[in-house]
Amino acid sequence: MPPSSNTNPSTESRNDWKTISTLLPYLWQYKFRVALALTLLFVAKFASVAVPLVLKDIVDSLDSKNAALLFPLSLILAYGALRLSTAILGELRDAVFAKVTQGAIRKVALQVFEHLHRLSLRFHLERQTGGMSRDIDRGTKGISFLLNFMLFNILPTLVEISLVAIILLKKYHWTFAAVTFGTVAVYIAFTLGITEWRMRFRRDMNEMDSKANTRAIDSLINYETVKYFGNERWEAERYNNSMQKWEAAAVNNQVSLSFLNAVQASIIAVGITLLVGMAADGVVQGTMTLGDLVLVNAFLLQLYGPLNFLGFVYREIKNSLADMEKMFGLLGKGAEISDKPTAKILQTQQAAVEFSHINFGYEDNRQILQDVSFTIPAGKTVAVVGASGAGKSTLSRLLYRFYDVDSGQISINDLDLRDLTQASLRAHIGIVPQDTVLFNDTIFYNIAYGRPTASKEEVIEAAKSAHIYDFILSLPDGFETTVGERGLKLSGGEKQRVAIARTILKNPPILIFDEATSALDSHTEKAIQAELKAISANRTTLIVAHRLSTISEADQILVMREGQIVERGHHRELLEQNGVYAQMWALQLNSED
Task: Round to whole Å and give the CA distance between 543 and 381.
Answer: 7
Task: Round to whole Å and give the CA distance between 256 and 250.
Answer: 10
Task: Round to whole Å and give the CA distance between 58 and 442.
Answer: 70
Q: Structure pTM?
A: 0.63
Please report, for residues 45, 148, 307, 383, the alpha-carbon distance to residue 153 in angstroms, rounded to integers and kept in the order given. 11, 8, 9, 67
Q: Would you state the pLDDT for residue 5?
A: 42
Residues in contact with 446: Cβ distance below 8 Å, sequence separation at least 6, in sequence order: 438, 439, 483, 487, 498, 502
Edge-to-edge, what's the strand order for the sheet holding 407-412?
369-376, 353-360, 407-412, 415-416
CATH of domain 20-331: 1.20.1560.10
Mean pLDDT of the chain: 80
Residue 282 backbone phi and psi in degrees, to 5: -65, -40
Residues in contact with 456: Cβ distance below 8 Å, sequence separation at least 6, in sequence order: 444
Q: Would you state the pLDDT for residue 2?
A: 39
Residue 87 backbone phi and psi in degrees, to 5: -70, -45
The CATH T-level fold of domain 353-592 is Rossmann fold (3.40.50)
Query: Among 268, 51, 283, which Cα is nearest to 167's?
Result: 51
Q: Would you state the pLDDT for residue 64?
A: 55
pLDDT < 50 positions in the chain: 1-7, 9-11, 14, 67-69
Q: Would you state the pLDDT for residue 70?
A: 54
Buried b (16+ CB within 10 A) or exposed e, 276-301: eebbeebeeeeebbebbbbbbbbbbe
Q: What are the pLDDT digits (tens) for 288-334? A: 777 777 777 777 777 766 766 666 777 677 777 777 777 777 777 76
Q: Specify the 3-state DSSP secondary structure of 541.
A: strand
Q: Would you state the pLDDT for residue 1?
A: 39
Task: Round to whole Å and give the CA distance between 412 and 399.
Answer: 9
Task: Round to whole Å and give the CA distance between 501 and 497.
Answer: 6
- Per the CB < 8 A criterion, the answer to whether 294 and 56 are in contact is yes
Q: Would you state the pLDDT for residue 178?
A: 84
Q: Specify the 3-state DSSP secondary structure of 231.
A: coil
* The 3-state secondary structure of 91-127, one letter per residue: HHHHHHHHHHHHHHHHHHHHHHHHHHHHCCHHHHHHC
Task: Round to whole Å and give the CA distance between 561 and 549.
Answer: 19
Task: Round to whole Å and give the CA distance between 46 and 87.
Answer: 12
- CB hemisphere CA count around 415 (13 angstroms): 17
Q: Would you state the pLDDT for residue 450?
A: 87
Q: Would you state the pLDDT for residue 584?
A: 85
- CB hemisphere CA count around 224 (13 angstroms): 4
Helix then strand then coil, % of the chain, to nearest 5? 65, 10, 20
Domain residue ranges in the chain: 20-331, 353-592
Q: Which residues pair with 481 in a beta bridge?
A: none
Q: Would you state the pLDDT for residue 7?
A: 46
User: What amino acid is encoded at 256 in this protein?
Assistant: S
Q: Would you state the pLDDT for residue 516?
A: 65
Q: Would you state the pLDDT for residue 522?
A: 67
Q: Which residues pair with 511 in a beta bridge?
A: 430, 541
Q: Would you state the pLDDT for residue 357?
A: 93
User: What amino acid is encoded at 348 in this protein?
Assistant: T
